[in-house]
Amino acid sequence: MLKNYTYPEIDNLNSTQLSYIAGLLDGEGSFNILANGPTKTLTTSITVQMNSLETIEWLSKGLGVSYSIVRRKEKNHKTGWRIALVGKRATYLTGKVYPYLITKRKQAEIILEFGRVGYFHVDNKLSKAQIKHNRQELKGKIRPLNARGSQQ
């Protein structure tokens, strides 16, 4: 788990709630490493997008984040809702739901590794260039796991 960081909303979730969130992430969620801001600094990201506003509101409250509407261009598609966690909060949640994940377990392992080399340096002797290189490698590892279609 990440040292020196705590998120009370996430810490207050019980094991039943964490396992439910893991199921949502396995089915409707996404774990990623994205370039953020004008400096394109890499950061971790978790998103959940679905048509159930009730579930998104529950997630939003339980995780301490806001949600947004996803408007569909096609008239026959329902309105969607989305939450996103980025940075340390995303990595922290990943550590909490990891024991319950099945489908997205490999992506979660990469997010947790990013947390160790990206946010909380395992070895304080790493240079900024080494940290940046390690982050890029992890982004390269997660990308094919998130690709659509056949993984052959």
What local confidence, expressed as pLDDT, does residue 22 receive?
98
**Residue 124: its pLDDT value, please?**
60
Domain spans of the chain? 8-145
Determine the pLDDT at residue 1.
Answer: 47
pLDDT in tens, the chain (152 residues): 445 678 999 999 999 999 999 999 999 999 999 998 788 889 999 999 999 999 999 999 999 999 999 988 888 888 899 999 999 999 999 999 999 999 999 999 999 999 887 665 555 677 788 888 889 999 999 999 998 765 54
| Prediction pTM value | 0.88
Predicted local distance difference test score (pLDDT) of residue 131: 83
CATH class, range 8-145 = alpha beta
Q: What's the per-residue H, E or C state across the chain?
A: CCCCCCCHHHHCCCHHHHHHHHHHHHHHEEEEEEEECCCCEEEEEEEEEECCHHHHHHHHHHHCCCEEEECCCCCCCCCEEEEEEECHHHHHHHHHHHHHCCCCHHHHHHHHHHHHHHHCCCCCCCCHHHHHHHHHHHHHHHHHHCCCCCCC
pLDDT of residue 152: 46
Confidence (pLDDT) at 3: 56
